[in-house]
Amino acid sequence: MAPANFETRNVAFHIGGDEFVFNTAKACVTYCGDNETPWDKFVRCMTDGQIGRMLGSTPEGVRWDDPRINTVTMNKFMMNL
């Protein structure tokens, strides 16, 4: 995977490098609904409720719902977790 921009690389790095975030991403692949992608589910999980208040962005400040994140790349990345 070779994401084109910093935001996409940064969120992929943290999904791969943080156990909680990684396990959340894997669960989102397994449990996403018919009308949502794994990335959509992940963003919702990481920005809503208590998790969103605690982990609404990466340590570098990239929000999980940043519009610059390449969602096609992230869905492909997540399907390979």
- pLDDT, one tens digit per residue, over 13-60 is 999 999 999 999 999 999 998 999 999 999 999 998 788 788 899 999
Taking the model in full, what pTM does it have?
0.89
**51 contacts 45 by C-beta, under 8 angstroms:** yes
pLDDT at 2: 52
Q: DSSP code of 36?
A: S
First to last CA, the chain: 12
Hey, where are the domains in the chain? 6-79
Task: List CB contacts of 79: < 8 A, sequence separation 6 or more.
Answer: 29, 38
Alpha carbons within 13 angstroms on the beta-carbon side of residue 18 total 14
Closest CA to 69 of 7, 1, 2: 7
The tokens for 62 are: 């990239």
